[in-house]
Structure 1
Amino acid sequence: MRRSSIRQIRVEESLRAKVESSLAAAIISGELEQGALITVPALAAQFAVSATPVREAMLDLEKRNFVESVKNKGFRVTTVSTEDLRELVEIRTLLEPPAMRIAADYLKGASLDTYRTLADRIVTNLEQANFKGYLAADSAFHLSLLELTGNGRLVDIVSELRKQTRMVGLTRLHDTDGLRRSALEHHELLDLLGEGRGDAAQALMTRHIGHALGLWAGVAEDATS
């Protein structure tokens, strides 16, 4: 049974932050569809928390352009156009793939255990349809590789770009071979980095990011793409 990103959370954790991250994961993955109308009381009941942290989380998401307020009704999940998504992919492609050459210099012959653990979590969470866990592990994996460049601004910029990227194909296609192959690309990337093959790692990262316009957007790709 598919696990929902919208589920009860522990009281001792930061309610506002946890509600926001859960809703963001649901929106990014398409679990909450674009154009869907959501209300604070309904969400508060689902999370089993008061309305205050939910309302605060929704206002934060509105600042991130994930939702827009609808007078006397609640909030509507915003729609990201194909052109918006294409621009995000183009910027990420300019920034992330070249960094893999630097990562390859650092990781050639080095232990990859930490990165392997994150790559395993990506695959496992996708198979379990735990989209919040999938997105968290995926972000940690990519950003940890970028940290090897020593450029904090690069990491921050890519982190923000990732937060704006929608992957609405996850909920509909999470159990398909194509999406599983895209998840396994993280292990393939580590193989290349461990061998010091920076150029090949750069090419793979370029293809991987391109899934944002294909598989992750719910658009079929050729098996060879």
Structure 2
Amino acid sequence: MEQRRGREQARTSHTSIASMATPASVRVPEQSRGDQARGEQVRGDEARGEQPRSEQVRGEHTHSGPTAPRHAVRRHSVRGQILDALRAALVDGQLVPGQVYSAPVLGVRFGVSATPVREAMQQLAIEGAVEVVPNRGFRVSERGPRELAELAEVRALIEVPVMLRLARSVPPARWCALRPLADATVAAAAVGDRAGYAESDRVFHSAVLALCGNEQLVMVADDLHRRSQWPLGNNPVTRRADLLADAAEHTALLDALIAKDLAVVQSLVREHFTGAEG
């Protein structure tokens, strides 16, 4: 009898404590086996002094770990794509030197809002390709032959001595690895793809200079290279014949570098820059 009373009192006490801990107004869903396993994993992580895995992946619905917010990835991607498209339009002469273009109008043209266009145009303004016109938009910068010649001279001062130094030290196999990049410039020139040629030409020169191991030099040369590709005010596009001649110099330059013919390398590099497109 006393034992039965003790058990009943124990059950009554347990029920009272449970009702205090969990108010009737709060419904606690029954845990599934997966939830229980995750709970045990969290308790195990905490016991080892580690951050619970549920905290590490909170808000994520994939099994590949935390990722950046999707809207941020899309925003960056759209801005980059518009920037590339605007650069291509500059090289192709679709954006005419001296003309003013508004971000909303260009946004309609590219099928995007004005915001990524405006951001891309701000970057082009920093690079000197366009000028900001208050309350109107952006004016494509006008350049003359003198500016182009000055850019070619500065590029030659930087790249010629670097290439000559590389010609003495880089093994032929490293130059052979750049052959596909030179071929890409030839392919773009053959079909008259000015924007494609401009990009493949930039990639080729950057790859050559990268062999020197000086990242700052590569960045400066890359900026000068972009500036040299913008069309002149009175001649917005480059002739296909000029592209083919310029691309052929890439192939000849690689041949001379592989053969370590320093005299030919120096002659080709200087001629390459005086052609205004290399």
Question: Per the shorter chain, which TM-score range?
Answer: 0.7 to 0.9
Q: CA RMSD in A?
A: 2.5
Number of residue pairs aligned between Structure 1 and Structure 2: 203
> Do structure 1's residue 195 and structure 2's residue 264 form an aligned pair?
no
The answer to whether the 8 A contact 2:91-2:237 is kept is no
The residue aligned with 1:175 is 240
The residue aligned with 1:164 is 227
Distance 1:179 1:186, change over 3 A: same
The residue aligned with 1:79 is 142
1:12-37 CA-to-partner distances (Å, cap 9, x unmatched) read 87111221122123224534221122
Shift of 1:113: 4.3
For CA contacts below 8 A with separation 6 or more, give which structure has more relative contact order.
1
The aligned runs of 1:201-212 (5 Å cut-off) are 201-212=265-276
- Who wins on radius of gyration, i.e. which is larger? 2
Shift of 1:128: 3.0
Give the whole-Å Cα distance in 2 for the aligned partners of 1:101 and 1:47. 43
Tell me which amino acid in the other structure corresponds to 2:87: A
The alignment's TM-score, normalised by the length of structure 1, stands at: 0.79
The percent identity for this pair of structures is 34
> Do structure 1's residue 61 and structure 2's residue 124 form an aligned pair?
yes
Runs of 4+ in 1 over 6 A off after TM superposition: none
The aligned runs of 1:115-130 (5 Å cut-off) are 115-130=178-193
The aligned runs of 1:8-27 (5 Å cut-off) are 14-27=77-90
> Do structure 1's residue 48 and structure 2's residue 111 form an aligned pair?
yes
Shift of 1:61: 1.2
Tell me which amino acid in the other structure corresponds to 1:199: A
The residue aligned with 2:167 is 104
> Do structure 1's residue 154 and structure 2's residue 204 form an aligned pair?
no
The answer to whether the 8 A contact 2:75-2:116 is kept is no
Give the whole-Å Cα distance in 2 for the aligned partners of 1:125 and 1:16. 25
Shift of 1:52: 1.1
Give the whole-Å Cα distance in 2 for the aligned partners of 1:19 and 1:132. 14
The answer to whether the 8 A contact 1:99-1:202 is kept is no
The answer to whether the 8 A contact 1:97-1:202 is kept is yes
1:164-213 CA-to-partner distances (Å, cap 9, x unmatched) read 2234279644432x33111111000000001011231121011101111x
